[in-house]
Amino acid sequence: MSADAIFINMLPVIPMKGLVVFPNMVIHFDVGRKKSKEALEHAMNNGQKVFLVAQREYSDDDPESTNLYKYGVIANVKQILKLPGDILRILVEGESRAKLEDFIQTEPFFICEVTSVTEISLKNKKYNEALIRKAHNLFEEYSRFVPRMPSNLMSVVSSNSDVGELADTIAGNIMIDVEDKQEILSISNKTRRLEHMALILESEIELLKIEHKISGKVREQIEENQKDYYLREQMKAIMEELGEGENPVQEAEEYAEKIAALDIPIDSTEKLFAEIKKLSKMPSGSHEATVVRNYLDVVTELPWNKFTKDVIDLQKAKRTLDKNHYGMEKVKERILEVLAVLKLCESVRSQIICLVGPPGVGKTSIAKDVAKAMGRKFARLSLGGTRDEADIRGHRKTYIGAMPGRIITAVKQAGSSNPVLLLDEIDKLGNDFRGDPSSALLEALDGEQNFAFRDHYIELPYDLSKVLFITTANNIESIPEPLRDRMDVITLSSYTSDEKFNIAKKHLFPRQLKENGLKPKNIKITNDALIFLIDSYTREAGVRTLERSIASLLRRTAKQFIEDESAVIKITPQKTEELLGAPKYKKDDYSDKNDVGVANGLAWTSVGGTILAVEAVTYSGTGKIELTGSLGDVMKESAKAAVSILRSRASDYGLDEDFYKTRDIHIHFPEGATPKDGPSAGITIVTALLSALTGACVNSSIAMTGEITLRGKVLPIGGLKEKLMAAFRAGIKTVLIPNDNLSDLHEVDNAVKEGLTIIPVKAIDEVIDNAIIRLPKCYQKTRALKVSSEVIPLEPQ
């Protein structure tokens, strides 16, 4: 027992839920719990005194002894009223603070031993008076923020001059937490009690000020909204009088009918109905209503369950491809294989076809022919220069000007859920701070994921698994690896001169005649004129420039035809040069004269193959090596490797052992403004450099391609088909290729293989034997010894 306490008695306990009673406080409350009613009955039979103590957990209807605070108040029961529902309403008066020491009984109700608490105060009278005045001022300020404050309470507080009673009166009549009230009740020092009460009042006043400020802002907003609502209602009434009003309920019903007709999954339907409900509660002219209305219009216009039936006739498809595309037999065969699989197995996940080839070879037209052969709708997306991920997946509909992505838009334009979508120029995708469009395409082009493609604007899963995606690219290497892995690549190569001639004669010339308003009977063009036009005015892998040249030729002819409509104009090579001017290109890309230090290489570009001449000169110096022609790192390394090979074999080739000290070397690749890189010019550099060092000529009718190693081995290269076609187009007679590239010859057109002498080589010596004319005798002897010493393996028995 504490020193400041006096033993009182054993009293029944009534636990209080969310209520703290202070001394001298008269209050009534309801009693309904069985334990409390039995405790009250015991008190009425034994002096009418009870111990009122707050419980810690408000929600506990049957509190344990440990759930009660230690400090409470001894109260005298003044009155009991019975209310309906077996509820007792009692009136009590708090007499004194008391501390719960121990429980004498816990069942069927609490009886505990309590001790009264002796109250003390500081003897500094001036301090107590100042503290009382401060409390009065704080309570007055507090009462200004609290509505419905009893009028007599202010006078009671103002007239109270006892520090302890003043703290109890304020604590018992303001809205603060039970924990704070319990803290006040437990302080026996009256001065300290009022100090603590003053701190609580200051904190409450600050909170009330903030609440008052927020309430003012809310009130202003409500008044503004009421004003807007009133004005909108007036406008609505005026529009209805004029017959221009919209009925929100009718509009919502129309959207509901459209959504019910979509036959989409229940989750998507519920989300759309939630949007309709939101729309029906909005003013028709508000910005939010416009956003929701646009969203519902887009969703309901999508072809959710509309499919075109595939009518795949392979014979008809073959005739269509043959009619519109000359040559390309392997490509057309590959397309027919895809169509055959789709016809046999309709449930198979659609393949992603990627058509790779130089510009103007017919990639886009092939995609259109595939759609036509399948009887499907066709839509095209040009991805060139796309840098924003939102172009693919759309914007969130909450943004101003939001719209769905280009894939969903294309499906909407096609009008079916199984169209042929052409993603043109997929290798030209870019990326910046707005995202990576190629990453956004991964889900759309993955057959395992695109059955639930989510556009940011639509926010509903849309099935793209029935869509046949066809992509086009000029350079497969520019497509990111994860995206490339999802596609089945079909390569379209450059056209040969013969193919260009037939395409021009059967397709381009008749089409341009029609587009320029001319008739075949009025304009004739000879075969020699077409060949001259192809060789002298165009240099490309495809036929776009050729078609533009034909169009330019016919426009100039049309002018003459207008002057004499009865004339029959015949276009010959001479007439072609007269109309188009001097030829832009010579037929041959190489010199027909054998020269020293010049070798013909072959290069691959995004528009097809080309002849790449390598020039080398040497002169007296200190062994410097100069490389020019806008070369990349790999090509520079190939040039250094070529010098090392010649240094290691100087005696074999009849070179001065110290040539790398006494001679400066300059290797140049013409067309210096064009960037060049890659290892395939290795053997060409060795040949040109050896010719320059020895003074022996290089055979100008030979072109070559191959990577070189320091041991003189010739390694395989890429782009063989395009390189051989460039050699064939330029009139080259013989081409040296790596022996390991022999397996790639099956992709080369028969006309090219028949027009070239193709020699496979394994080592640099074989290249020199074929390409360089009249090397020094010492090399010929060394070479003869090497050949004679080779061991010829026996044939297996």
- 3-state per-residue secondary structure call for 380-437: EEECCCCCCCHHHHCCCCCCCCCCCCHHHHHHHHHCCCCCEEEEECHHHCCCECCECH
Cα distance between residue 619 and residue 621, in whole Å: 6
Cα distance between residue 352 and residue 334, in whole Å: 13
The Cα angle at residue 499 between residues 497 and 505, in degrees rounded to 5: 100
Report yes or no: 138 and 198 within 8 Å, Cβ to Cβ: yes
Report yes or no: 296 and 255 within 8 Å, Cβ to Cβ: yes
Cα–Cα distances in angstroms (integers) from residue 328 to residues 229, 363, 423, 499, 639, in the given order:
69, 11, 21, 9, 37
Cα distance between residue 436 and residue 14, in whole Å: 70
Q: Is 284 a catalytic residue?
A: no
Half-sphere exposure for 82 (CA within 13 Å, toward CB): 3
> 3-class DSSP state for residue 698?
strand
User: Could you identify the residue written with the tokens 């172009």?
Assistant: 391
Which amino acid makes up residue 737? Answer: I
Contacts of 541 (CB under 8 A, 6+ apart): 357, 358, 359, 360, 361, 493, 494, 495, 607, 608, 609, 722
> 3-class DSSP state for residue 93?
strand
Residue 236: per-residue pLDDT: 64
Cα distance between residue 327 and residue 228, in whole Å: 71
Report yes or no: 759 and 734 within 8 Å, Cβ to Cβ: yes
Cα distance between residue 294 and residue 286, in whole Å: 13
Report yes or no: 709 and 740 within 8 Å, Cβ to Cβ: no
Element housing 461 (H / E):
strand 461-462
Q: Provide φ and ψ at 655, rounded to 5°.
A: -95, 155
Q: Is 723 a catalytic residue?
A: yes
Q: 553: which DSSP letter?
A: H
Cα distance between residue 498 and residue 758, in whole Å: 20
Residue of 417, 680, 691, 700 marked catalytic: 680
Give the strand pairing for 734-738 and 702-704. parallel
- For every residue of 130-150, DSSP letters joined together read HHHHHHHHHHHHHHHHSTT--
> 3-class DSSP state for residue 218?
helix
Cα distance between residue 68 and residue 70, in whole Å: 7
User: Could you identify the residue written with the tokens 């060139």?
Assistant: 384
Cis peptide bond N-terminal to 583, omega within 30: no
Which amino acid makes up residue 33? Answer: R
Q: What is the pLDDT of residues 222-240, one digit of tens each?
A: 777 777 677 667 666 665 6
Residues in the chain: 797
Element housing 71 (H / E):
strand 71-83
Report yes or no: 472 and 425 within 8 Å, Cβ to Cβ: yes
Cα distance between residue 231 and residue 312, in whole Å: 62
Task: Give me Rg for the CA atoms of the chain.
Answer: 48
Q: Provide φ and ψ at 409, rounded to 5°.
A: -65, -40
Residue 707: per-residue pLDDT: 94
The Cα angle at residue 568 between residues 567 and 574, in degrees rounded to 5: 115
Q: Provide φ and ψ at 744, rounded to 5°.
A: -85, -5
Report yes or no: 33 and 144 within 8 Å, Cβ to Cβ: no
Residue 618: per-residue pLDDT: 92
Among the listed residues 487, 498, 484, 500, the one whose alpha carbon sits nearest the alpha carbon of residue 362: 500
Report yes or no: 114 and 51 within 8 Å, Cβ to Cβ: yes
Cβ-count burial of 134 within 10 angstroms (0-12 exposed, 13-18 middle, 19+ buried)?
A: middle
| pTM over the 0.95 mark | no
Element housing 54 (H / E):
strand 49-54
- Counting as low any pLDDT under 50, the low residues of the chain are 1-6, 244, 588, 781, 785, 787-797
* Distance from chain centroid for Cα 442: 9
Residue 645: per-residue pLDDT: 92
Report yes or no: 164 and 194 within 8 Å, Cβ to Cβ: yes
Buried b (16+ CB within 10 A) or exposed e, 656-688: eeebbeebebbbbbeeeeeebebbbbbbbbbbb
Residue 600: per-residue pLDDT: 92
Cα distance between residue 681 and residue 700, in whole Å: 16
Cα distance between residue 761 and residue 770, in whole Å: 10
Q: 455: which DSSP letter?
A: -
Output the 3-class SS for 760-783. Answer: EECEHHHHHHHHEECCCHHHHHHH
Report yes or no: 439 and 432 within 8 Å, Cβ to Cβ: no
For residue 20, give both structure tokens. 């703290």
